[in-house]
Each structure stands twice: as C-alpha cells, then as structure tokens.
Amino acid sequence: MNFFSEVQLDSLQAEAIARGLYAIAHVDGMHTREEALVAAFWSDTGGSAQALSDLARHEPPSGEELGAVLYTPELRRLFIKTGLLLALADGQVSQGERALLSQYAEALGLADELPRLEAGVKEYLLSHLSHLQNVEAVAQVARKLEL
C-alpha cells in the first residue's frame, strides 16, 4: 500500500489544506523549509504565487471548516499526513504543532488514528534514507524520529 497515494483535489480542497498547513507552520514560527513545502503543495495543486500570498493572510481554518471541505476519510488523512510532514520539516513536531494537529484530527474524526498516521509518516521519511550506506546516520535519524 502506498502511504501517500495520489488523491484528486479540487481548488477548494487544495485551498483548505494550504490554509491548514500555514496554520500548523505558524504555530512555532514559519521556517524556510515549511514555507517551501506549503508553496510546493500549492503550486502542485495549480495555485498561483499571488493566490499563495493571499492564502498566507487568511485566518487559520477551523476543524469544522476543514471537515466540511475534506469530506472523505481519504482527504482527511491526506491533510493530517501532510500536516505531520510539514511539522517534521524542521526536525521535530513542536508542542504547539502537536496540539493543533490533535485539534484538527479530533475535528476530522481521526484522533484515534493520529499515532498510527504519525508513525507512518516517520517510517515514510526514513524509507527514503534506507538506500544510504552510512547505517549509523540512518540509525541516528530513526532515533530522532523516535522509531
């Protein structure tokens, strides 16, 4: 099973996810890597640079707002997994990021799945390093990810 299988998004769903990602990133201060990930997501879903700067100024979406737009379990899991990837972009999920992700997961009916989704995201990230010959470095990353 592909942990990040392709999901078709309409413009409202892409906008809701991008706004949610901005909210997660802003919790502990927007890092360069986080901003780049949101921009890449937005660009990949057909958004323009001008629209991205407009999205950055919007209020964070509520969990209920996300739930109304991300109405399938597949869309909701995609948002949470993407939010976890974003939160890990600076090396760790901060307490604030974890709290907001938990709020979103609760509102989206995924609170019970959040630990499994987080473990899956970490394993996904680690799998991209498995081809490296520096086994100790990979082991250090695994320890940092708490795997």
Q: Which domains occur in the chain, in start order?
A: 11-112 (1.10.3680.10)
DSSP sequence for 18-86: HHHHHHHHHTT---HHHHHHHHHHHHHTT--HHHHHHHHTSPPPPHHHHHHHS-SHHHHHHHHHHHHHH
Mean pLDDT by 10 residues, the chain (147 residues): 74 93 90 86 82 80 95 95 90 89 97 93 73 53 54
The model's pTM is 0.82
Q: Which two tokens stand for residue 146?
A: 């708490």
What is the predicted pLDDT for the residue at 141? 52
pLDDT tens, 116-147? 999 888 888 777 665 555 545 545 555 555 55
What is the predicted pLDDT for the residue at 71? 95
